Structure 1
Amino acid sequence: MAIYRFSVKIIRRGAGELSAIGAAAYRAGEKLMDMSTGIAADYSRRVGVLHREIIAPDIAPNWALNREELWNMVESFERRSDARLAREVTLSLPAELPASEYVELVNGFVREQFVSRGMIADISIHAPKAEGDKRNFFAQILLTTRPIGPATFAHKKNPAWDKVQLLKTWRRRWAEHINQALEKNGIDQRVDHRAKSAQNSSFSLEIARLFSQMRDVVEKDDYLDVQDKIDILEQIKILTKFSANAEDESIKREARLAIKVLKGTMMDVPRTQQLRTSLMDSILKVNRLLNI
């Protein structure tokens, strides 16, 4: 299964974090001037920023597309000492996809879920760190916390943006965007946005269904003698046992061996093409679910 990450945090003034200007400069790898202090936040030496872009609603003024002007406007508009300056979304990008697909993938999701609601999105896409996991491509998105109008920000924030249900929608839709991109590229990997417990429950039900299907095919086949059926059913039983703890690598190895033996057993005994096709289809699905 491809890696999935979707995290959200709020950037506040006076919370021991960078200002909105500093946060934007760091994520984009740029030098931005804080107009209120005359001090520049300079991260122009940061490496690994593959793409940077601002996407705003069509009604937004021109300054909304200028990173320095945008975040200076945010800082001046928010007066409270503990003001919420931005919402940051961090997304893992599937290493299975070519990097050339990342901009289209991220931008499509951002336009659909953020910009369409009136937010301005400051996007940066990053390569893995030299000393880290080479698959760790990711995107950071800074979002304005107020809807933008033709001239400036709205005086009232939209309370719907803080609802848990909307966060759940974002998580689900990001997974769907990734899976659509994987499918379009002919990649047989998928992500799941659900909590691990929910994934395990769904996984167990699907595995159980496939093993039941395999047993039914074998038991109902009239061309197999009793010993053939016993041999194949024993392999299915072993697979069922091993798949119960599929996260364990040693269990996966044993399951891989059991699948190999089951395939060999199928080839050794005479049977109809329909039986072989049905069993092989189930075995391939088990392989994918066990990720082996």
Structure 2
Amino acid sequence: MIHPASRLEVVVHSRADGRSAVKSAAYTARTSYRDERLGQRFRAGKRGGLLSHELINWNGDAEALWNTAEHAETRRNARVIRELRPSLPAELPLTEQVRLVRGFSLWLRDEYGVAVQADIHAPRFLDRDEERRHNAGKLATDAQEYLAALFDPTRTNRNFHAHILLTTRKVRPETGAFGDKTRILDDKKTGPEEILRIRREWQKRTNAALKRIGSPARVDLRSYEDMAKAGDAPTGLIPQDHLGPRRAERSRRLEDDGGDTSVAGQRRAEIQAHNDELWRTWLQWRALQREKDRLEESARIAAEREAERKGKAGAEKRRLREVKTAMEAEATVAASAQFDSVRTASMWELAISSAQGLSPEPPCEEPDEFSAEVDLETYEPPQGRLQPEPVLTPKVVRVRRRGPRHL
């Protein structure tokens, strides 16, 4: 099965869609920023759940970064932010999650020259009241208890994830100036190739982090089609449509109230059931195939060893046919692997004769009644001679004593 954290979504924020870089950054940072271009302050609807916040390749604060990014664009439909939304494996402790996101953000800076805002968000609490207090930042608990609760599968969905915001232009951190557009990510030809490279880098780094902590879990960001072609997944898996924040929240409310009976919810449930059945049958088939391969490999090894044994036996027989003296015969038979160690000349002669094909091997002893197989249901004991009845009456024998002999 695919690891639940095998997801990295790429979203481009454009003014044509009514997006603002400042607004998006305020939401992921769980704070409020003022957009100088629009003259409007944006506040995050949620104030809790921010586990980490970092800026890469920028010397000021995040509000200044994204206002500068907005001022650098003049077109009405300009792209102002490129956002990566990777899921984080719940097997990783928070310190390892922060290390993973920071290292990946530094790689993005080095590869594309962009500034990066990286925020890690906490999972959602399963209890509705607890989640409401969590979003409001009013969950009364200390830091250790809070972290323990986040990783508890009975209290949260353990959906740790990051929001990695990239500028769409190269940035000079010394001066704070924005340079050229990152056309390599926007181009119709090179853009998909670069996004694929970004996904592979994230997968490599995530799996390295899992390996570093000794976890056997691994993420796989390939498409279902590519996984099936490589033999790592069943054919026919259907990808689920990603839900935005509003649709996901609506679906959660319906599930809490008894089930998502909407058309979209039923469609998602059907796809999930279809994929689960494909995975179940495919895993069973893989197990049978592995057992078949194991048996075939065992048969191949046995055949190779039997052929090797026959080859050695043939060579030993040839050596026995070529001996000229009894001493040579004795030494050859003693060193042979196919004959038992012998001690008499007659047995040496039998071995030599067998090797030369002059006589068959010594016959086995005739089977007796003790070596034959016995059917306990039909077995009758053999009829032997009748034994005489034992004599139980003691017989007294009189002994005549003689007197002493006189000389």
**TM-score interval (norm. to shorter):** 0.5 to 0.7
The correspondence of residues 252-291 of structure 1 with structure 2, limited to 5 A, is none
**Count of residues in Structure 1 that have an aligned counterpart in Structure 2:** 214
The amino acid of 2:218's aligned partner reads R
The amino acid of 1:28's aligned partner reads A
CA contact (8 A) 2:22 2:33 kept: yes
Instruction: Report how far residue 158 of structure 1 moved.
Output: 2.7
Counterparts of 1:53 and 1:196, CA distance in 2: 33
1:127 to 122, 125, 132: 122
The correspondence of residues 75-224 of structure 1 with structure 2, limited to 5 A, is 75-131=70-126, 134-149=157-172, 150-151=174-175, 152-154=177-179, 156-162=180-186, 163-201=191-229, 202-203=231-232, 207=286, 210-220=290-300
Instruction: Report how far residue 77 of structure 1 moved.
Output: 1.4
Structure with the greater alpha carbon radius of gyration: 2
In the alignment, what sits opposite 1:42? 43
Distance 1:95 1:23, change over 3 A: same
Counterparts of 2:27 and 2:165, CA distance in 1: 11
Instruction: Report how far residue 34 of structure 1 moved.
Output: 1.9
> Deviations along 1:137-178, whole A, 9 cap, x unmatched?
000011000001242011x31321232111110111111111
Please, what TM-score do these two structures have when normalized by structure 2?
Answer: 0.49
CA contact (8 A) 2:88 2:162 kept: yes
1:11 to 13, 33, 39: 13
Gaps of at least 5 residues in structure 1 are: 223-292
Please, what TM-score do these two structures have when normalized by structure 1?
Answer: 0.67
Counterparts of 1:87 and 1:131, CA distance in 2: 31
The amino acid of 1:90's aligned partner reads R
What RMSD in Å do the two structures reach over aligned CA positions? 2.4
Instruction: Report how far residue 219 of structure 1 moved.
Output: 2.9
In the alignment, what sits opposite 1:272? none
Counterparts of 2:46 and 2:11, CA distance in 1: 25
Instruction: Report how far residue 119 of structure 1 moved.
Output: 0.7
Distance 1:113 1:71, change over 3 A: closer
CA contact (8 A) 1:90 1:140 kept: yes
Counterparts of 1:211 and 1:165, CA distance in 2: 39
CA contact (8 A) 1:126 1:139 kept: yes
Counterparts of 1:221 and 1:36, CA distance in 2: 75
- Paired residue secondary structure (1:148): strand
Counterparts of 1:147 and 1:186, CA distance in 2: 37
Counterparts of 1:212 and 1:55, CA distance in 2: 53
Instruction: Report how far residue 197 of structure 1 moved.
Output: 2.2
Report % sequence identity: 33
In the alignment, what sits opposite 1:227? none
The amino acid of 2:35's aligned partner reads D
Counterparts of 1:46 and 1:115, CA distance in 2: 32
Instruction: Report how far residue 221 of structure 1 moved.
Output: 7.0
CA contact (8 A) 1:2 1:96 kept: no
Instruction: Report how far residue 213 of structure 1 moved.
Output: 3.5
In the alignment, what sits opposite 1:2? 3
Name which of structure 1's ranges 21-30 and 93-102 shifts more when overlaid on structure 2: 93-102
Counterparts of 1:178 and 1:190, CA distance in 2: 8
CA contact (8 A) 1:49 1:125 kept: yes
Distance 1:34 1:212, change over 3 A: same
- Paired residue secondary structure (2:106): helix
> Deviations along 1:78-106, whole A, 9 cap, x unmatched?
11111110101100001122222101011
